[in-house]
Structure 1
Amino acid sequence: MKTKKEHKILFLFVSFIIPVLILSFVFAVNGMYPFGGKSIMTGDITYQFIDYLAYYKTIFFENNDFTYTFSKTLGGDMAGFAAYYLYSPFNLILLLFPNKWLPVGLMIMIILKCGLCGTSFFYMLSKLYGFRKEGIIFSTTYALMGYIIVYFQLYAYFDNLILLPFILLGIHNLISNPRNKISYIIPLFLSIIDNYYIGWMLCIFSALYFVYRITLEINTINDFKKKFSVISSFAISSIVAGMMSSFVIIPTLLSLRGEKDSFHLGFYRTFEMSQLFSRFYTNSFKGNVSGCLPNIYCGVLIVLLAGLYFFQKKVSKKERILSACFLLFLFFNFYINILNVIWHGLNLPIGFPYRYSFLVTFLMLLFAYRSYLCMEGSTSDLLFLGSLIVYVSYSVFLLIRGSEVVGKNEIFLDGFILSLILILFFIFSRKKIDKRILFGFLFIIQTGDLIINANDAMKYFDFTDLKEYQAYVEETGSIVNQIKEKDKDFYRIEKYYRRTHNDPMQFNYSGLTHFSSCEKKEIISYMGKLGFRDNGNWSFYNSGSTAFVDCLFGIKYIISQFDSTGKPYTISFDYNDKRVFENPYALPFAFCADEKVRTVDFDTDNLFRIQNDLADAITGDENHIFKEAVCTDVHVENMIMEDQGDFVYYKTDRSEEDSYIEYSIHIDNENVLQVYFAAPELQDVELFLNGNSMGGYFEKYKWDIMDFGSHKEGDIIKIRMTPKSGSFKLKKAYFYYEDQVALRNWYEKVSSDQCEMSKITSSHLRGNVNSKKNNCLIFSIPYEEGWKVFVDGMETETREGAGKLLSIDILEGNHEIELIYKAAGQASGITISCISFLFLLYILWIDKRKL
């Protein structure tokens, strides 16, 4: 015979293993490795998270850290990035997996997190309402609710979902005994430092839930006076938990400055309220993770029980009214934009809306469980009939009104499930079956519902083939490693091809390409001004800007699928069908420049003029690297022109005939011709060179400086812009040659002041500079206050230079240079956290003395 303790441990294990087995089964059925060739990679996992996790490993195994990285555009602080993506302790599991097997490791981690969601919820129910095996139904639902299935790409949030039941338990304990603060403070503190974004949402929910629970216990003014110590204890505990997390939160908040365009505080409705409840239906997810309704699916059984809760006479009327208000308030927060935005930290997310919708499911599960416990034959048959009528009525409404997510199939499926459940409840109310049999059937029905929903959702995701990912990682990783073995210096690498914008993180090299929600807009804009594609959320190398910019930023090696680059680079080596080109003019991470470099004007659409001005400012004289090409004629064919002031609007006149603008360029030298078109917005056009397509332009991934090749002197070439959709807007066209001789001469002048830099860690650089005169020393790193620069051991003032780069003043002679990055607010954050921790010990000591 098992002891009571062993029995509880067994069911805690069962609450973990059931979601694990179900989710594993769903993944297996959908062809995940090793049951098929697919990987867990889809959406943001493919384009962001898998690369971040690869970089995470380098923090432990190579010379990177959580403070700064050179694999993020030009370089950037990691405080906000790491706090959002990397601080989960579950990530340590992935240290066991080589990069090519990271998707498998991530899938295992997601499955384990879902299992632990079930365990934590079951544990909470056992503590609140006593140990009951029926809790398995509800804990399994929590682990496999619509939020987790649809938003599994946001696996970093699942840690907070594991902690949520412990936070709620802590609130209950604190209300029961104001001295029992620690059980609330610790899980809230952990949720904040694990992921500050969802941690913020849990802080809001904790406050709301506390108000809800304390209101249930206050009936008179005298009750309020008695509970004042509870209220003050909750307030103090919440503040202490927040203050203890300062070592993460303060650097994170300072790091995130400049990463969002603006607040979105408009007061308007976000959707049609009558459509919200369609997301309760099984299989109501139809693949939209950008503009979808809140993910509140939890199964027919839970919706039914939660609804019946409000009619359970064993539950006080006050509790039912307050519970209804609480739930309706959360629904209202979905509905009204300004409230929704507050939950998201005052900024609407890009994709995956209503990221706090799991809280509605959580609350409904609590109400449903309470309802189940009250169903000892006391539920009226009229309520069962009423439930069926409500379901049929709303389903008919959706069919008549129309719904994007619910059709006949979904209605018939849930109608069948509801009928089975109501029949079971009807039989149970007649005492024809006992509660153990009822539990068994309900468990089968609910898990079946969850499996059907999860399996259906998977078909809407485009999962990456594992072997395809592995082949890319192995080939590109081998090329990067070969470059590193060949050249031990500190430099940047870039590629003319990519799997994602985050390849520099995947392969741990310093590059110029990056995408995350934690990149500063001013740096993205700066890259755009230097000729790279800037779409507002990211910039990336693509096929590069110009050779000058490559030199400026120390791009020493280019990995290409082509046989040539159009730039004065030499072939270093070949690897399969790829070639590695070496740039002989790549500057080191630090170089001397004239004081004029701090006054370059970037406020122009002429990107070539910016680069010319920058080159001249660095040397203090004219270099003429970019020379404007002669455009002898601009021919407009079958297009109506409307001058709009800042731009010209071109519209096709006769739709049955070709329409275009064609520029005739007289070639007067054989340097590479670079082209850029300025326009007010994204559009759909195609470029042609002498009748040959050069691809689209003004597009999401293609709107940068383009290489149109070198041509024979004296030729006339034709560059044509054709609208794909009948019209486009154009500010101006720019055609420039990049003079390779002038570029070489410029490089020789700049490199005459010898500079060498080496990477100790990603936040610690050291080097030497030999300046021939008093100069400005430029580092090809974004200017940030966190950088401390020491010259011959003495800290020196840092300033912006060359637009957005870090610079210092340097005297003539040989100098040792050292750069150390410390995240803004790190010292103050640690100090506040330490003081808060000591204060926690103090109040715990005081509470203990009062016992």
Structure 2
Amino acid sequence: MKKISKEKREMIIRRTLYFGLPLIIMAIIYAILHVYPFGKLSLLTYDMGEQYVDFFAFYKDTLLHHPSQLLYSFTNGIGGETLGLWAYYLLSPFNLILLFFPKSMLPVGIMIMTLIKYGCAGLALGYCLEKMHWTDQKWIPAATVCYALMGWILANEFNIMWLDVLVLLPFILYGIEKIFDEDRSFYYTIFLALTLFINFYMGYMVCIFVVLYFIWTAVRKWQNWKTFGKRAARFSISSLLAAGSVAFLLLPTYFDITKSKGVYTQQTIQSVIEYQPWKMLSKFMIGTINDNQIQNGFPNLFVGALIIGGFILYFLAKKIPWREKITAGLVCVFMFFAMCWQPLDLVWHAFQYPVYYPYRFSYLVSTWMILLALRGFAKVGKPKIYQLAITFIIPVICWIVIFINRKKFNFLTVPNAIATLIFWIVIFGIMTWMLMGWNKQIKKLNLQMLASGLMLVLIAAECGMNGYQTIKNIPGASEVSYTNFVANLDRDIAWINNQDNGHTFYRIGKTFQRSENDSLNAGYRGLSGFTSTQNAAVTSFMNSMGQPNYLGKENYTEGTLLTDSVMGAKYFLAPTDQFDNLVKNNNWVTPATSYRPDISFYGPVKQINGVTIYQNPLALSVGFAATKDVLSSKNNFPSSDFTADNQSYLLNTIAGTHRQYFDKVGYYTKMTNCTLDGGANGNLITTDPNQPSTYEIQLKNVGAEPYYIQLTTGIVWNSSITINGNSMPGMGNGSQPTLFNVSANTPGQDVTIDINPNNGKTIDLNDLEVYKFNLSAFEKTIYSVMNNQWKLTHNGRLQLRGDIDIPHDKDVMMTTIPFNKGWSAKVDGQKVKPREAFGTFLAIPMTPGRHHVTLSFWPPLLTLGIIVTLITWAILVLCWRYEKKK
């Protein structure tokens, strides 16, 4: 067996350290914080719990069972293209780790994957620093810890798809160095392409940064203008080739985004400073994260005391030319303003305000500081006293400013501030020892090696403390809240799937949920969805129907018998005792999100583990005959104030009728510690803010029909609401008032609805109405629509086929499939251009009579993207051969 050389053995030890130290530090933190399997908590908090874990379940299902879901899935909201979903969330190679974990164990798989990403980030930087000969070896281990555990990654570890960028970024920068040192660009092209492929959003930010890095490198390695021109051309062409090599993904994703996230792009930009810039200094301290900071805070800039010292020394080092320092300074100024001046901030975020997690590009600022710090250590030589003094005093002055104003920072604690100062003083002392080169021998003990080891321990302790204090401040989630819910829901869905043959297209609704993406997790056609690539037209439609919604999110929690039927909700899941379920605490199996007594009109067909499955006999198929009045490229519902009018308009326009489905009813009121200013729909004003107040609505001797109360977002957000004494779940996101079901199938009973203002807030009761559902009128209309439905003969994931009879008074086959230009239609074998219905759905004009209709899906621009990618790959092969010969 060949003996490993000492040099190679040392290299293996170093790189194991680069990988292992960040991983071990974070594993210890997870254990201390009782993250499963070390305790009962999980990493499923914020978007990790509300989105990503469901995406990972979808990822497993796609790769192992249904590969067509790479392009489209009806489990994505009410149906949607998924290439954008994959491009934004699911293309990390680390995700393959999750294939080895059953769905119930995904929280453990996610934790392991997160730890591995921490380790790989440290390894990537250490490897590339060695290859670039960037600095002395003694600084690299500590730098890898600072890089892998920077404040940005800790604050964003729950956005797990972003973390890959820290693994890829060092290789991209190394590739730029190769352009200058070896006149080779293939390395750079490949790693930039990988970054764009794995997460185009982070890749976009990297593309901005590499331009800055290239300019700085060109100045640092300046020869002449001719050489610069050649390298700039090589860099530009290589960047375009990187994008072209993944055009098969980027082009259809771009199209998808224009119909989803891109709709919310800022049309006007204000030249404003977003906060007092000096406040960002607070983010260099330990433990400066809390819930408010995640929602709308300052840039996450923690990099550790060592990096701050080296960063200052860079600008004091005499061996570094002034032109390089000036260029680096200009880059710093650009990044500084990007972190506080709105126009530049928006540029980094592709001209969209981030929803939570502000200044998402700050990892590039931290990386930039680390690189300059290490170059400073390499070039400063043996520092002068004044250089050390300046390096020490500047952070201390900044610390004093922040500490004096600490009450302005609700995330900063005195112990963490003091710990920051102590670490700075001690690390500065050891840094000085290492820079001065004091190297005495004490009993064969090399003090320089001792200092390097001690520095690494201190950096690990500092970054570890910051990691602990950061993650401790982020609300955790119970592991069983996922596993118990998923296990129970999977049983319900499996039973339903066994009842219907494969030709039936139906959707499933629920009065409980773990997240809006339950349908993606359990693999059923649902009615809610939450992704950054969610179809904006669907969100707008759901808003018009009174469903809670927000950017990229629609939550079908407050449906009515009318919307259930039109949207094809054939099955509904609810706790066996809905009313009792409202008061249960820590209920991980059926956490209530709505109260729908009206589904009692559907027949209960099965009970499984406390859940009743109802079957809706009036649910429409995915397609049905409709009047041509449904055709519109805009959401043209008549009212932004009265949701019942919009729902009536929806069904009447489909059927060509003019019926009233919601009848306003009177009610009695009783006020306790409050008065009404402006009549029944005026402002509810609390008399004594220190005492509870209640606005009570009484419905006497109700009929058997469903009753709904219309409440605005302002009422829902600013008060607690009870029905007959039990708290009513509900979310008010959205501009449209919501219809809350308060009674059904309880003839002769009284219903009491209490609105209790929070903390004495004034409540605007504008648009508050109570309705009785006109069941007989609704049944007449819905039965007429059911007579002419699309009867599927093939229910595929990318193609639907079936027959429909269009009566003489109808002109259109309308579907509840979201409109997308990727859908093509054939009627009786002839191509027909699909149209939009209600600015949301796919519709096909056709003549009266019996027709065979085929719908097929292929993502827009995918074919063009594939062609561009193949051409680019051919060019890259030629470039690789050329560089190899060279």
TM-score (norm 1): 0.91
Counterpart Cα distance in 2 of 1:597 and 1:329 = 51
Q: 1:846 to 1:471 in 2, by over 3 A?
A: closer
Residue matched to 2:637 = 602
Alignment match of 2:428 (pick from 418, 422, 428):
422
Tell me the equivalent position of 1:28: 31
CA deviations over 1:23-71 (Å, ceiling 9, x no partner): 2222122212222222221111111111111111121233351222222
Question: Which position in structure 1 is the counterpart of 2:790?
Answer: 755
C-alpha separation in 2, matches of 1:401 and 1:655: 32
Question: In structure 2, do the counterparts of structure 1 residues 449 and 505 end up closer, same or farther at CA, with 3 Å as the change threshold?
Answer: same
Does residue 348 in structure 1 map to residue 363 in structure 2?
no
Cα deviation per residue 1:796-822 (whole Å; 9 max; x = unaligned)? Answer: 121122552211123444433322222
Residue 528 in structure 1 maps to residue 528 in structure 2: no
Q: Tell me if the contact between 2:644 and 2:739 (Cα under 8 Å) persists in the aligned partners.
A: no
Contact persistence 1:66–1:78 (CA under 8 A): yes
| 1:444 matched to 2:447 | no
- CA distance 1:719–1:386, shift in 2 (3 Å): closer
Mapped contact 2:309–2:428 kept (Cα < 8 A): no
CA contact (8 A) 1:615 1:623 kept: no
For 2:775, the aligned partner's letter is Q
In the other structure, the counterpart of 2:866 is: 830
Q: 1:681–1:698: 8 Å Cα contact kept in structure 2?
A: no
Deviation at 1:841, TM superposition (A): 3.8
* Secondary structure in 1 matching 2:111: helix
Q: How does 1:633-782 map to 2 (within 5 A)?
A: 639=675, 641-642=677-678, 648-652=682-686, 670-677=704-711, 683-687=717-721, 692=725, 695=728, 699-700=732-733, 704-710=738-744, 721=755, 723-724=757-758, 725-757=760-792, 760-773=795-808, 775-782=811-818
2:567 alignment counterpart: 553
1:296 is aligned to 2:297: no
The one-letter code sitting in structure 2 at the alignment partner of 1:346 is F
1:590 pairs, out of 603, 623, 636, with 623
The CA distance in 1 between the partners of 2:94 and 2:746, in whole Å, is 60
Q: Read off the aligned partner of 1:230 and give its amino acid letter.
A: R
Q: CA deviation at 1:553?
A: 1.0
Structure 1 pair 793/392, CA: closer, same or farther in 2 (3 Å)?
Answer: same
Q: Distance in 1 between matches of 2:138 and 2:693?
A: 72
> Does structure 1 retain, via aligned residues, the 8 Å contact 2:286–2:416?
yes
Per-residue CA deviation, residues 216-244 of structure 1 (Å, 9 max, x unaligned), is 3337xxx1123211111111111222222
CA distance change for structure 1 residues 390 and 353 in 2, over 3 Å: closer, same or farther?
Answer: same
Residue 738 of structure 1 deviates from its aligned partner by 2.1
Structure 1 residues 124 and 535: alpha-carbon distance in aligned structure 2, compared to 1, 3 A threshold: closer
C-alpha displacement at 1:93, in angstroms?
1.6
What is aligned with 1:74?
Answer: 78
Aligned counterparts of 2:656 and 2:312: Cα–Cα separation in 1? 76
AA partner of residue 101 (structure 1): M
- Within a 5 Å distance, the mapping from 1:302-341 to structure 2 comes to 302-341=307-346
What is the SS of the residue equivalent to 1:35? coil
> In the alignment, what sits opposite 1:273?
277
In 2, the alpha carbon distance for the partners of 1:759 and 1:464 equals 42
Equivalents in 2 of 1:380, 1:104: separation in Å? 51
| d(CA) in 2 for partners of 1:174, 1:656 | 70
Partner of residue 591, structure 2? none
Shift of residue 558, structure 1, vs aligned partner: 0.8
Whether the 8 Å CA contact 1:490–1:758 is kept in 2: the answer is no
Post-superposition Cα deviations, 1:148-189, rounded to whole Å, max 9, x if no partner, equal 1221011111222111111111111112244x1211111111
* 1:719–1:157 Cα change, 3 Å: closer
- 8 Å CA contact 2:22–2:148 kept in 1: the answer is yes
What is the distance in 2 between the residues matched to 1:401 and 1:760? 64
Higher mean alpha-carbon deviation, 774-783 vs 726-735, is at: 726-735
How has the CA–CA distance of structure 1 residues 275 and 801 changed in structure 2, closer, same or farther, with 3 Å as cutoff? closer
CA contact (8 A) 1:685 1:696 kept: no
Q: Is the Cα contact below 8 Å between 1:680 and 1:731 reproduced in 2?
A: no
Q: Residue deviations 1:430-483, cap 9 Å, x none?
A: 443553222112111111111111122221122222233211111111111111
Asked if 1:192 is matched to 2:196, the reply is yes
Task: Give the superposed CA RMSD.
Answer: 3.0
- SS class of match (1:348): coil
3-state SS of paired residue (1:371): helix
Any gaps of 5 or more consecutive residues in structure 2?
A: 441-445, 579-596
Partner residue of 1:175? 180
Listed as ranges, the matches of 1:357-376 within 5 Å are: 357-374=362-379
SS at match of 2:390: helix
Decide whether aligned partners of structure 1 residues 161 and 84 sit closer, same or farther in structure 2, where only a CA change above 3 A counts: same
1:683 deviates by 4.8
Aligned to 2:252: 251
* Residue 541 to residue 407, structure 1, CA distance change in 2 (3 Å): closer
Change in Cα spacing, 1:796 to 1:531, as seen in structure 2 (3 Å) is: same
2:598 matched residue in structure 1: 566
- Deviation of the 1:765 alpha carbon: 2.2
1:97 aligns with 2:101: yes
TM-aligned CA deviation for residue 562 of structure 1: 4.0
* In structure 1, distance between residues paired with 2:752 and 2:432: 81
CA drift at 1:492:
0.6
Distance in 2 separating the partners of 1:663 and 1:284: 46
Offset of residue 756 of structure 1: 2.3
Letter in 1 for 2:738: D
Deviation readout 1:547-599 (Å, 9 max, x if unpaired): 12111111011110144732320111111211111111111111122333337
Residues 627/425 of structure 1: CA separation in 2 closer, same or farther (3 Å cut): closer
Corresponding residue number in structure 2 for 1:54:
57
Tell me the amino acid that sits aligned with residue 819 of structure 1: L
Unmatched segments (≥5 aa) in structure 1: none
Secondary structure of the structure 2 residue equivalent to 1:335: coil
Selected match of 2:170 from 151, 165, 168: 165
| Matched-pair contact (CA < 8 Å) for 2:196–2:204 | yes
Greater mean alpha carbon deviation, residues 603-612 or residues 629-638: 629-638
Q: What TM-score do the two structures reach when normalised by structure 2?
A: 0.88
Cα distance in 1 between the residues matched to 2:745 and 2:727 = 16
The alignment partner of 1:566 has SS state of helix
Query: Structure 2 counterpart of 1:675, which letter?
Result: I
Q: CA deviation at 1:374?
A: 4.0
Question: 1 CA distance for matches of 2:725 and 2:365?
Answer: 56
How many residue pairs get matched? 840
Q: Are 1:201 and 1:356, in contact at CA under 8 Å, matched by a contact in 2?
A: yes
Q: Which residue of 2 aligns with 1:410?
A: 416
What whole-Å deviation, never above 9, does each CA across 1:269-288 have from its counterpart, x for those lacking one?
A: 12222222222222333453
TM-superposed CA distance for 1:12, in Å, is 2.5
Write the mapping of 1:444-593 to structure 2, written as runs, cut at 5 A. Answer: 444-488=457-501, 489-535=504-550, 537-542=552-557, 544-563=558-577, 565-567=597-599, 568-593=601-626
Equivalent residue, structure 2, for 1:435: 448
Q: Decide whether the 8 Å contact of 2:743 with 2:751 is kept in 1.
A: no
CA distance, structure 2, for counterparts of residue 632 and residue 353 of structure 1: 46
